Amino acid sequence: MKFSKKNILFLLSIVASIVCSWLFVRKIDWALLKNALIEANYWFIIPTIILNLLFYVVRAFRWQGLLSHIKAISTINLLSLTFIGFMANNILPARVGEALRPFLLYKKEDIKFSTSVATVIVERIFDMLVLIIFTVGVIALLPHPSPSHNNLLVYTSVNHANTMKESIIPSLKKWTEVFAVVGVFTIVSLFLVVAKPDFFKKILYKLCSFLPHKLKDKILEFYESFIHGLKILENKTQTVWILSFSLLIWIINGAEIYLLGFSFHMHLPFVGACFVAVCLALAVALPQAPGYIGVFHIAVLKSLDVFGIQTTAAQSYAIILWAISVLPSTIIGFLFLWKEGIAFREVVKLEEEIAEGKLEELEGVTKDIE
DSSP codes, 355-366: HTT-GGGHHHHH
Which residue in 349, 292, 350, 351 sits closest to 319, CA to CA? 292
Closest residue by Cα to residue 340 from 78, 150, 130, 111: 78
- pLDDT above 90: residue 46: yes
* CA–CA dist 295, 280 (Å, integer): 9
Of 220-229, 289-298, 308-317, give the lowest mean pLDDT range. 220-229
Counts for the chain of helices (H) and strands (E), in that order: 16, 0
**Single pTM value for the model:** 0.82
Residue 81 or 364, more confident: 81
The structural domain count of the chain equals 1
Q: What is the rounded distance in angstroms from the CA atom of residue 309 to the CA atom of residue 268? A: 8
pLDDT of 367 > 60? The answer is no
Q: Residue 154 above 50 pLDDT?
A: no
* Domain extent at residue 9: 5-369
Q: What is the pLDDT of residue 112?
A: 79
- Which range scores top for mean pLDDT: 251-255, 288-292, 345-349? 251-255
- DSSP assignment of 54-117 equals HHHHHHHHHHHHHHTTT----HHHHHHHHHHHHHHHHHSSTTTHHHHHHHHHHHHH---HHHHH
* 360: nearest Cα among 210, 207, 212: 212
Task: Return the number of other C-beta atoms located less than 10 Å from residue 354's C-beta.
Answer: 23
Express each pLDDT in 76-111 by its tens digit. 999 999 999 999 889 887 677 788 888 888 888 888
- What pLDDT sits at residue 56? 96
Mean pLDDT over each residue of the chain, to the nearest integer = 81
What pLDDT sits at residue 158? 37
- Would you say residue 369 has pLDDT above 50? no
pLDDT band at 53 (very low <50, low <70, confident <90, very high): very high
pLDDT at residue 334, as a whole number: 93
Lowest-confidence region among 20-24, 106-110, 302-306: 106-110
> Is 90 exceeded by the pLDDT of residue 297?
yes
pLDDT exceeds 80 at position 237:
yes
- In the predicted model, is pLDDT for residue 152 greater than 60? no
The pLDDT of residue 355: 55
296-303 mean pLDDT:
93
- pLDDT, tens digit, 9 for 90 and up, residues 189-230: 877 887 888 898 889 888 888 888 888 888 887 788 677 767
Q: Tell whether the model's pLDDT for residue 65 goes beyond 80.
A: yes
Strand locations in 212-255 (E): none
Given a cut of 50, whether residue 151 has pLDDT beyond it is no
Mean pLDDT over 109-134 rounds to 83
